[in-house]
Amino acid sequence: MASDTPIVLIGDRAEVAPRPRGATAKLRPGRFALTVAALFTFAFLYVPIAVLIAFSFNSARTGATWQGFTLQWYERMLSNPRLIDAAANSLIVAALSTLGSVVIGTLMAIAMERYRFRAQAVWDGLLYMPVIVPEIVMGISLLLFFASIGLERGLITLIISHIAFSMPFVYLTMRARLADFDRSLEEAAQDLGADEWTTFRRVTFPLLLPGIISSALLAFTLSLDDFVTSFFVAGVGSQTLPVYIWGQIRRGITPEINAISTVMLILSIVLVILSQALQRRQSSH
Amino acid sequence: MVLRIKSFAQGQPLSALSADTSICGGRGLSEFAVELRDVTKVFGEVVAVDHVSMGIRQGEFFAMLGPSGCGKTTSLRMIAGFERPTSGEVYIDGKPMGSTPPFRRDVNTVFQSYALFPHMTVEQNVGFGLEMKGVPRAEINRRVKEALELVRLPQMAKRYPRQMSGGQQQRVALARALVNRPKVLLLDEPLGALDAKLRKEMQIELKALQREVGITFVFVTHDQEEALSMSDRIAVFSKGKVLQIGTPLEIYERPNCRFVADFIGETNFIEGKVKQIDGEFAVLESDGRCFVGRAGEGLRVGAQASLSVRPEKAQLVEQPMNSANCYEVRVHSVAYVGSDTRVIVMLGDQHFDIWEQNSLSTLDPNYFFGPGERAWLVFRPENALILAE
């Protein structure tokens, strides 16, 4: 999430200590190899995505040949009621599960930061354990759980499941924010006559807000992109967008799927950029 | 070591104190703005504050002075209400505080880190306390303006704390506390984060401000010079206990124990046995030499004691004098520091510091003693203090 920081650091270092000319000349073969490796890495990461995006604008119905630019797949995507339903489901699930995981995750983070109790490290570990539980295990266990308590698969099960896997990310983000929080600010508020609730409302919450928003954006993105868990817990009429796409792909990849994927990709990127921008704004405070 | 608290000897019955307060309470004003009665604070296994009793008078500039971890900050936090005493009671304006939360106490704090709200402008920061009290907007605006004028930052109202220097933030923190016109202003090492020059300026300014507003200031510091120059009275803390409470003059000239003599300013100690006590004065025998000095509290003949002489209160002379406390010494080193010359002499095998004021303007390098020379150390009995161990 903070992948931009090291790059900035390397840039700074290069400015502080410019490499002498002689050294640059000597290192040239090594530099060439590194450049090639870097280009290869970026190609490896982004060429498939670029192809996907390109083909969403290709007027050819099938095949991998370019036959001209078109927006018809996007038009068709928007006039597909089942796809629109799936997208609406995705947005509802993402919104409600984000709300749930942000409230629970933030309150848990505050509680764990403020109070000291027995075996705290164990409880702390259990709270972010879901981050490393394989998603397929998570999906199966939730499916079994819902079946055993007789809860029918649908939007409710989707929302509960999405809260379960995104809450730990909110918790981790908020713990980090709270660790930097200056408690004397709360003391100052109380000293100036604010009771506990007013202190929270006027000081603690506004200062935590950028962290809360950035973790909410993260939770929203995770929910929107989730396939594995959703695949297990979605009901027949409550498919989310990724589950719908998967269903369509079984009948072959169409340019329409490329168009949907492109939209999802852009949405995710925007959310992540927003989240990072907020984090950076807070740390510059 | 026998420790006495000057204002309230530990043995004094508490009833005597409460009688005092009730008389003043009858006039609607307690003698003490803040009073700690037998307050103890324990954190786990650590006794941070150990049976501390003291009374801070109305309108006083009161310093709590001591090395780090001596309990001064914890005492301040108990007055503010951030910590509750394990035992004992804190009184503010004669009223026992019990478990009264900080937001219901008529005191305000200037924090060491300033603790300005980063998401509020200077104006909003300063107005926060008044807003909490439900003061009308127009009055808030007027008083915030006044407070910012008081700390000479009227043009900074719309700024955010991060856009200001440390010294400016510190004034905002002061304004934010003072604007509420608290009974007592608590200051937790407020000048600690400032550079030396700004610190000196703020010391003078803070003192002037206190006179101007007439509010009781309780000031925590580890800087003895700061405490001496600013306070009406000082409480010297060590290891959770109050060793002495007194005016800067009393604390410096009549420390009641070795720790206070050592912590406040510079001093020379000569260790020995008490040979004789005669009223105000006593005789200490050390290494075959006899010294006369003022008798401190709790001295007993035959007991171990230390004689304390401040370096500026001793002289070097060329010829032996027919007086008490005159012994031959060898000059060890001489340092000219402008305002005075600091000489270290050897009294037997012991170092002894003497600071001679350079009251004569001369370029003669032989004006003062040189290293290795023979001289006589002399100091008046009134300038020495014999303190019990």
Please indicate whether residue A181 or residue A252 has the higher confidence score (pLDDT).
Answer: A181
Tell me, yes or no, whether A161 lies in a domain.
yes
Are A102 and A221 a contacting pair, CB within 8 Å? no
pLDDT digits (tens, 9 = 90+) for A229-249: 999 998 878 889 999 888 888
Count up the domains in chain A and report the number.
Answer: 2
What's the gap in Å between the CA of A206 and the closest CA on chain B?
8
pLDDT digits (tens, 9 = 90+) for B21-63: 333 333 446 789 999 999 999 998 899 999 999 999 999 999 9
User: CA A113 to CA A130: how far, in whole Å?
Assistant: 20
- Residue B213 has a pLDDT of 87
Tell me, yes or no, whether A62 lies in a domain.
no
Tell me, yes or no, whether A61 lies in a domain.
no
Contact A188 B111 (CB under 8 A): yes
Nearest to B376, CA basis, from B327, B307, B340, B335: B327
pLDDT of A2 over the 60 cut: no
Contact B162 A195 (CB under 8 A): no
Tell whether A237 and A210 lie within a shared domain. Answer: yes
Q: Which residues, 6+ apart, have CB-to-CB distance to B334 below 8 Å?
A: B341, B342, B343, B344, B368, B369, B370, B371
Sheet holding B315-317, edge to edge: B315-317, B374-378, B326-336, B340-347, B350-357
pLDDT of B9 over the 60 cut: no
**Chain Cα centroid distance, residue A70:** 30
Contact A207 B128 (CB under 8 A): no
What's the gap in Å between the CA of B283 and the closest CA on chain A?
52
Are B42 and B48 a contacting pair, CB within 8 Å? yes
pLDDT of A3 over the 60 cut: no
Tell whether A141 and A202 lie within a shared domain. Answer: yes
Q: State the DSSP string of B321-337.
A: -SSTTEEEEEEEEEEE-
Please compute the mean of the pLDDT values over residues A218-228 and round it to a whole number: 91
Token output for B345: 């002499």
pLDDT of B159 over the 90 cut: yes
Tell me, yes or no, whether A63 lies in a domain.
no
Contacts of A195 in chain B (CB under 8 A): 101, 103
Q: Note down the domain range covering A143.
A: 72-284
Contact B103 A191 (CB under 8 A): yes
- Residue A12 has a pLDDT of 40
Q: Which residues, 6+ apart, have CB-to-CB distance to B244 below 8 Å?
A: B4, B5, B6, B235, B236, B250, B251, B255, B256, B257, B260
Confidence of residue A63 (pLDDT cuts 50, 70, 90): low
Of A185, A194, A285, the CB nearest to B132: A194
pLDDT of A9 over the 70 cut: no
Please indicate whether residue B18 or residue A108 has the higher confidence score (pLDDT).
Answer: A108
Tell me, yes or no, whether A201 lies in a domain.
yes
In B115-214, DSSP assigns E strands to 184-188
Q: Strand, helix or coil at B92?
A: strand
CA A225-A226-A228 angle, to 5 degrees, is 145
Contacts of A198 in chain B (CB under 8 A): 132
- Residue A247 has a pLDDT of 87
Of B103, B116, B176, the CB nearest to A194: B103
Are A233 and A144 a contacting pair, CB within 8 Å? no
Nearest to B91, CA basis, from B108, B78, B103, B74: B78
Confidence of residue B292 (pLDDT cuts 50, 70, 90): very high
Asked if A197 has any chain B CB less than 8 Å from its own CB, the reply is no
Q: What is the CATH number of the domain that holds A171?
A: 1.10.3720.10
State residue A164 phi and psi, 5-degree precision.
-60, -40
Tell whether A121 and A257 lie within a shared domain. Answer: yes
Q: Strand, helix or coil at B112?
A: coil
Nearest to A228, CA basis, from A134, A109, A152: A134
Beta-sheet pairing, B61-65 with B46-57: unpaired
Among the residue ranges A153-157, A272-276, B260-264, the one predicted with the least confidence is A272-276
Contact A184 B117 (CB under 8 A): no
Contact A182 B108 (CB under 8 A): no
DSSP B313: G
- Residue A277 has a pLDDT of 82
Are B184 and B105 a contacting pair, CB within 8 Å? no
Which residue stretches of chain A are H helix? 4-16, 21-26, 28-56, 72-78, 81-114, 120-128, 135-148, 155-179, 183-191, 196-199, 205-225, 228-233, 241-249, 255-283
Range B263-300 burial, b when 16+ CB lie within 10 A, else e: bbbebbebebebbeeeeebbbbebeeeebbbbbbebbe
Nearest to A165, CA basis, from A144, A135, A124: A135
User: CA B277 to CA A192: how far, in whole Å?
Assistant: 55
Tell whether A153 and A272 lie within a shared domain. Answer: yes
Distances (CA, A) of B191 to A43, B113, B167: 57, 10, 9
Please indicate whether residue A22 or residue A141 has the higher confidence score (pLDDT).
Answer: A141
Asked if A190 has any chain B CB less than 8 Å from its own CB, the reply is yes
- Residue B27 has a pLDDT of 41
Segment 246-285 of chain A within 8 Å of chain B by CB: 285
Contact A192 B117 (CB under 8 A): no
Asked if A198 has any chain B CB less than 8 Å from its own CB, the reply is yes
Contacts of B176 in chain A (CB under 8 A): 192
Tell whether A264 and A151 lie within a shared domain. Answer: yes
State residue B242 phi and psi, 5-degree precision.
-90, 120
Token output for A77: 């995507």
User: CA B326 to CA A237: how far, in whole Å?
Assistant: 106
Q: What is the mean pLDDT of chain A?
A: 84
Contact B101 A195 (CB under 8 A): yes
pLDDT of B272 over the 90 cut: yes
Tell whether A89 and A158 lie within a shared domain. Answer: yes
User: CA B322 to CA B311: how far, in whole Å?
Assistant: 21
What's the gap in Å between the CA of B204 and the closest CA on chain A?
25
User: CA A165 to CA A226: how far, in whole Å?
Assistant: 10
Tell whether A262 and A156 lie within a shared domain. Answer: yes
User: CA B21 to CA B17: how far, in whole Å?
Assistant: 7
Asked if A192 has any chain B CB less than 8 Å from its own CB, the reply is yes
Of A192, A194, A285, the CB nearest to B180: A192
Tell whether A252 and A113 lie within a shared domain. Answer: yes
Token output for A102: 């942000």
Tell whether A13 and A123 lie within a shared domain. Answer: no
Tell whether A101 and A227 lie within a shared domain. Answer: yes
Tell whether A26 and A154 lie within a shared domain. Answer: no
Beta-sheet pairing, B87-92 with B184-188: unpaired
Contact B118 A184 (CB under 8 A): no
User: CA A173 to CA B85: how far, in whole Å?
Assistant: 36
Contact A188 B132 (CB under 8 A): no
- Residue B275 has a pLDDT of 93
Q: Strand, helix or coil at A163?
A: helix
pLDDT digits (tens, 9 = 90+) for B330-387: 999 999 898 899 999 999 889 999 998 888 888 887 778 889 899 999 999 999 999 9
What helix, strand, coil percent values describe chain B, rounded to 5?
30, 35, 35
pLDDT digits (tens, 9 = 90+) for B130-151: 999 999 999 999 999 999 998 8
Contact A195 B103 (CB under 8 A): yes
User: CA A160 to CA A145: how far, in whole Å?
Assistant: 11
Of B107, B162, B177, the CB nearest to A285: B162
Are B284 and B273 a contacting pair, CB within 8 Å? yes
pLDDT of B15 over the 70 cut: no
Number of CB pairs < 8 Å for A and B?
A: 61
Of B107, B119, B129, the CB nearest to A206: B119
Among the residue ranges A175-184, A245-254, B349-358, the one predicted with the least confidence is A245-254
pLDDT of B19 over the 80 cut: no
Token output for A237: 């009429």
Contacts of B107 in chain A (CB under 8 A): 191
Tell whether A100 and A23 lie within a shared domain. Answer: no
Q: Strand, helix or coil at B13?
A: coil
Tell me, yes or no, whether A115 lies in a domain.
yes
Of B111, B119, B180, the CB nearest to A184: B111
Contacts of A205 in chain B (CB under 8 A): none
Asked if A134 has any chain B CB less than 8 Å from its own CB, the reply is no
Residue in the structure block whose two tokens are 């992540």: A272
Tell me, yes or no, whether A83 lies in a domain.
yes
Interface test with B, best of A183, A185, A191 (most B CBs within 10 A): A191
pTM score of the predicted model: 0.76
Q: Which residue of A has its CA nearest to B160?
A: A285
Of A182, A193, A207, the CB nearest to B129: A193
- Residue A283 has a pLDDT of 57
Residues forming beta bridges with residue B294, ordered by sequence position? B281, B385
Confidence of residue B271 (pLDDT cuts 50, 70, 90): very high
Asked if A213 has any chain B CB less than 8 Å from its own CB, the reply is no
Percent of chain A with pLDDT over 70: 88
**From the CB of residue B232, how many other CB atoms can be counted at a distance below 10 Å?**
17
Tell me, yes or no, whether A155 lies in a domain.
yes
- Residue A284 has a pLDDT of 54
Beta-sheet pairing, B304-309 with B107-110: unpaired
Of A184, A192, A207, the CB nearest to B113: A184
- Residue A259 has a pLDDT of 87
Q: Which residue of A has its CA nearest to B119?
A: A207
